Amino acid sequence: MKYRTFQPHQDLSAVVKFYWTLEVPFDPNNQKQKIIPDGCIEMTFNFGDKIKRYISDSEFILHPCGMIMGQRTKSYYIEPLGHVNSFAVCFYPYGFTNFVDTSLEDLTDSETPIGNLFGEIQSKQLVKKIIQARDTKQRIDTIELFLIDKLGEKSTVDTIVKKTIDILLSAKGSTSISTILKKDVSKRRQLERNFAKQVGISPKQLGKVIRLQSALRMMLNTERESLTNIAYENKYFDQSHFIKDFKEFIGTSPKEFLGNENMALSTLFYK
């Protein structure tokens, strides 16, 4: 597996977290891979072979060539049918709403063809340019022209949403929403409504995902760190609380995650 990330142009750096590419040669022995929620929405282009996304143990859908990967509330499995060659835009949690009028709650836990959001003709042209580009640089140049053009057409993210997300990111998800809002109930209701539209999940869900991301990185990049230390370092009440959240979003315990063949791709993302 070959995974690389690239930084966006400064005009997009407030809304685009990074671009990434993934190449995985076909191997008939490859296992299904579990993808973990990361709190971000992605615009993904697949120009290799088709990829299955399982909706049950035996049922699946095929990923479109160009799609928007909405926010995730749970992990899911994918399985390539051949060689994987993908390019994607990873948006900050408040990033993608700046490009569309659609409520992002409608995209949660689903893959939406780009044409459904940006029009069939323009989207087909974009997907064609991305697929036919000679290299990653040309793909980045192509998508940045598209995004910069779209950025000026839409209203920006709500201030209370951006402020809340910035605090959650800075605190690695360990600050409660009540603390951020100073226990103002009226602001809580407003925040919940705006998060549904402009982020796709609730503030509490996003905070849990961000904290889990921080814990995962510690697990995978810090040698001989105990689960208890990881739990306390990430402000979980105790190890049991950490394991409960881990199972909620990933479906396994932390110990079962490490070394699991189905987690190889997710492990690559966090290393």
The CATH number covering residue 141 comes to 2.60.120.10
Q: Does some domain include residue 208?
A: no
Residue 263 lies in a domain: no
Q: What pLDDT digit, counting tens, does each position of 90-119 carry?
A: 999 999 999 998 999 999 999 999 999 999
C-beta of residue 158 within 8 angstroms of C-beta of residue 194: yes
**Domain that includes residue 132, residue range:** 2-151
Query: Within a domain: residue 169?
Result: no
Report pLDDT for 205: 95
- Is residue 93 situated within a structural domain? yes
Domain assignment present for residue 204? The answer is no
pLDDT at 48 over 90: no
How far is it, in rounded angstroms, from Cα 91 to Cα 95? 5
On the question of pLDDT at 164 being above 90, the answer is yes
Q: Is residue 34 part of a domain?
A: yes
In a domain, 253, yes or no: no
Q: Which of 203, 197, 15 is nearest to 106 (CA)?
A: 197
The edge-to-edge listing of strands for the beta sheet with 60-62 is 33-35, 76-80, 51-54, 60-62
Q: With bands split at pLDDT 50, 70 and 90, how would you rate the model's confidence at 270?
A: confident
Name the domain count of the chain.
Answer: 1
**pTM greater than 0.85:** yes
Q: In terms of pLDDT, which residue wins out, 160 or 7?
A: 7
Instruction: Tell me the CB-side half-sphere exposure of residue 182, using CA atoms within 13 A.
Output: 1
Overall average pLDDT of the 257-261 stretch: 83
For residue 227, is it within any domain? Answer: no
Position with higher pLDDT, 21 vs 221? 21
Question: What whole-number distance in Å separates Cα of residue 53 and Cα of residue 49?
Answer: 13
- The interaxial angle of helices 185-198 and 159-170, nearest 10 deg, is 90
